[in-house]
Amino acid sequence: MDLRYSESEESFRSGLREWLAEVLAKLPPKPSHLDWPGRRAYDTTWQRMLFDAGYAGIDWPVEGGGRGASPVEQLIYLEELERAHAPYVGVNFVGLLHAGPTVIVEGTPEQRARFLPPILRGDEVWCQGFSEPGAGSDLASLRTRAERDGDEYVVTGQKIWTSHAEVADFCELLVRTGPEDSRHRGITWLILPMDRPGIDFRPLRTIAGSTEFGELFLDGVRVPVANRLGDENDGWRVTMTTLSFERGTAFVGEVLQSMELLRGLRAIAQSTGAWDEASVRRRVGHLGAELDALWALARRNVSQAARTGVPGIGGSVYKLALSELRQRIADLGMDLAGSAGLVFGDIPGARNGPVGNLEIVSTWVHSFSRTIAAGTSQIQRNIIAERILGLPKG
Amino acid sequence: MDFELSEDEVALADGMRRLCAGRFPLDRIRAAEGERVVIDPSGWSELADAGVFSLRLAEDAGGLGLGTAAAAVVFEELGRALVPGPILASHLAAGLVEGAADGKVMVGAVHKPRAHGAAPVVIEHLGSLGALVVVGDDALALLDPAALDAVAVDRSLDPLTPLWRVDHLPAGDAVGGPDDAARWRRDASVLGGALLVGLAAATVDLAVAYAKERRQFGKPIGSFQAVKHLCADMLVRSEVARAAVHAAAVTIDQPDVGDALRAAAGAGLLAVEAAMANGKTCIQVHGGMGFTWEVPAHLYLMRARVLADELEGSDTLAELVAERY
């Protein structure tokens, strides 16, 4: 076990750190989270800056136009971006982390040439059409229908939890092409251009009051057969290949961000006098120990991926532990806030700590999504029990 | 950066696991339940020959010259196998107490009582000890166990950790100052943590094996989500604590990579919790059988409680992390 970075890893880090220090000052001001066109412009500008500096698609293989960085370099990349408070991947999430990697593995040469470069340059934005009102954790039960009509599919159905649809150019869409009960054997992966007639999008309001995702209604939308990735009815396997890109780095930024949040909460406790209470100090210490442990686990998962070339199953352990820990850190923030926690916003005139009241309250409300999105904690426990511990399926 | 076990570390763990399976199978360990001496001198010298006590001692001092990471890997196996005896104290005393490293002397340890006469002092394995280290805030002192006015405790919580009680603990001879005491506590957190992680991991195996085999309502109880999720949580606790213990051990060996004191305190804290919670859950998964003496689930929980006592208290460890966060 060795936690020291090699010379080449350190040189990758220092090059990135220098570039970040120079370039972040040139970023335009961050738009309001309600301003979708503004968010697209901001996120894609950042993506273009990464592209011009050779950092776009850090985890993509070189043949897909990416940087082909090693898993350890990917870890360093995420660590440095977090430390420098660089923008998040934002509206480029689906393109860079889902659709792009899938097109690299499963796409035809024409599809790769058409779709990959615009994702890397930040020219085109993607959204995801996987989940449906009746197909959440049980994704293989999806019902959105695609009927073949000549060289087109005609798609009718409904998707949900689609993020960035307002500003997306394409949607990675899973449709039912086999019989109704064909489950994972009758699913096809399509690239849906979002400017086609028959698409309607209705935003959903989250418990944070924001609109981060919504429902996508598809009524006779025509998609060229040329936009199919992989074979008809082979979409489930195509979808699974996306996962093979992950190198133990998912949610790595989040553990570092949580450490900074906890340090901020500690500073607040010290300034308000709450730090005089042993129970508060012990809570901070306990949460800190858990974050340190998860940062260690992240490095272990990345090391394993570096050796084996495939993501370790340890990702489920990490995701489950981190999302539940994140909620307990958010709880501490609300407890320290006291009555200010009733206010969903910053309080004028209040002492400005390192973590503002809005951030405390918003972090708390958002923390409830962590144990639901990307596989609920209950599904993660099933995965751990069945795939790691070998317990029988129910 | 490569935070997986190296080939050497894997070989060390395998070697220790084989030694434990051959020399300390559970039925042989259990034969000493309730005895005043739970590990015989030949067993102890086999541990010494395998380097359990001299592992981190410099080669020119007769040790193996290995690091804390290597020791953590070995200790995890000793914990997993439930090997009894004052292993942690004897290891920490190597180089400090004559005869500890080569297994000639079994060394025990006890925290220096904070408030004089507040509670009786309980000493583990006293009847086997050749030396006793008193761990104070700022000093380590050495006592001759034979000279203590000690009363054997009729029954101990862990049937494999016999206890003695003394009303008054003499000051003893100083063998270390504040740095030695701080190092003792730090290393006890990490290597005691490694023993605890071994216990926590062993209970996962035990609970999962039972959940696969025990059938109710016509199927293995491990197919029910209520049971599955208990087992999944056990694995999460032991893997998270394991990563923490390994990271703390590496940080002691490679001081530039982090704050070893913070890492050690956090590792001890999480390891105690993982072993205690997993011990309880293991009993629960076994149902009524888990409450019987025959099923060994309780032994892991009781040993965890013993080891928790060898570390600083969880509140102290949590405050240590908070101070340095």
Cα–Cα distance between B221 and B64 in angstroms, integer? 46
Q: Do B219 and A303 touch (CB under 8 A)?
A: no
- Predicted confidence (pLDDT) per residue in A80-90, tens digit: 999 999 999 99
Q: Are residues A130 and A214 in the same domain?
A: yes
Q: How many angstroms separate the CA of residue A344 from the nearest CA in chain B?
A: 28
> Taking a C-beta distance cutoff of 8 angstroms, is the pair A283, B230 a contact?
no
Minimum-distance CB partner of B266 among A3, A292, A304: A292
Nearest alpha-carbon partner for A315 in A303, A296, A301, A294: A301
Last residue of a domain, one of A88, A107, A136: A88
CA pair distance A245, A253, nearest whole angstrom: 17
Residues A265 and A358 in one domain: yes
Dist. CA B245–CA B263, nearest whole Å = 8
Which residues of A belong to the active site? Answer: 246
Q: What is the pLDDT of residue A351?
A: 67
What angle in degrees, to the nearest 10, is found between the helix axes of B260-285 and B297-310? 160
pLDDT value at residue B287: 98
> Three-state SS across A294-330?
HHHHHHHHHHHHHHHCCCCCHHHHHHHHHHHHHHHHH
In angstroms, the separation between the Cα of residue A322 and the nearest Cα of chain B is 10
| Nearby residues of B183 by Cβ (< 8 Å), 6 or more positions away | none
Task: Quote the Cα angle for B148-B153-B157, to 5°.
Answer: 130
Residue A274 and residue A338 in contact, taking contact as beta carbons nearer than 8 Å:
no
**In this predicted structure, what is the pLDDT of residue A160?**
97
- Chain-chain contact of B228 with A382 (C-beta, under 8 angstroms): yes
Domain assignment of residue A393, yes or no? no
Interatomic CA distance for residues A106 and A128, integer angstroms:
17
Q: How confident is the model at residue A323 (pLDDT cuts 50, 70, 90)?
A: very high
Indicate yes or no: CB of A394 within 8 angstroms of CB of B256: no
Domain count, chain A: 3
Report whether B167 contacts B156 (CB < 8 A): no
Please indicate, yes or no, if residue A159 is contained in any of the structural domains. yes
Q: Both A208 and A274 in a single domain?
A: no
Note the ipTM here: 0.97
Instruction: Using an 8 Å CB-CB cutoff, list chain A residues near B211.
Output: 391
Is A78 within the bounds of a domain?
Answer: yes
**Strand partners of residue A199:** A218
Distance, CA of A84 to CA of A81 (rounded, Å): 5
A262: closest chain B residue by CA: B325
In terms of domains, do A257 and A379 share one?
yes
Which superfamily does CATH assign the domain made up of B179-324 to? Butyryl-CoA Dehydrogenase, subunit A, domain 3 (1.20.140.10)
Alpha carbons B244 and B250: distance in angstroms, whole number: 10
pLDDT surpasses 80 at A242: no
Nearest residue on chain A to B264, alpha-carbon basis: A289
Among residues A189, A207, A234, which one ends one of the domains?
Answer: A234
Q: Nearest-CA distance from B250 to chain A in Å?
A: 7
Q: Would you call A1 helix, strand, or coil by DSSP?
A: coil
pLDDT at A352: 61
Q: Would A241 be classed as within a structural domain?
A: no
pLDDT value, residue A394: 83
More confident residue, B5 or A308: B5
Tokens 């405050």 — which residue?
A: B319
Q: Does A153 lie in the same domain as A52?
A: no
Dihedral sign from CA coordinates of B19, B20, B25, B29: positive
- pLDDT range class, residue A313, cuts 50, 70, 90: confident
In B25-166, which ranges are continuous DSSP H helix?
26-30, 41-49, 68-80, 87-93
Residues A173 and A60 in one domain: no
pLDDT, tens digit only, all 325 positions of chain B: 999 999 999 999 999 999 999 999 999 999 999 999 999 999 999 999 999 999 999 999 999 999 999 999 999 999 999 999 999 999 999 999 999 999 999 999 999 987 665 678 999 999 999 999 999 999 999 999 999 999 999 999 999 999 999 988 998 999 999 999 999 999 999 999 999 999 999 999 999 999 999 999 999 999 999 999 999 999 999 999 999 999 999 999 999 999 999 999 999 999 999 999 999 999 999 999 999 999 999 999 999 999 999 999 999 999 999 999 9
Domain at A226, CATH number: 2.40.110.10
Q: What is the pLDDT of residue A167?
A: 96
A-chain residue closest to B251, CA distance: A3
The β-bridge partners of A162 are A214
Full domain range(s) for residue A273: 252-388
The DSSP H or E segment spanning A33 is: none
- A242 in a domain, yes or no? no
Rounded Cα distance between B100 and A68, Å, is 52
In a domain, A316, yes or no: yes
A33-83 tens-digit pLDDT: 889 999 999 999 999 999 999 999 999 999 999 999 999 999 999 999 999
CB contact at 8 A, A256 and A82: yes
- Mean pLDDT throughout A247-263? 91
Do residue A64 and residue A178 come from a single domain? Answer: no
If asked whether residues A80 and A207 sit together in one domain, one would say no
Annotated domain spans of chain B: 179-324
Q: In this structure, what are the phi and psi dihedrals at residue B85, rounded to the nearest 5 degrees? A: 110, 165
Distance, in Å, from the CA atom of B91 to the CA atom of B12, rounded to the nearest integer, reads 16
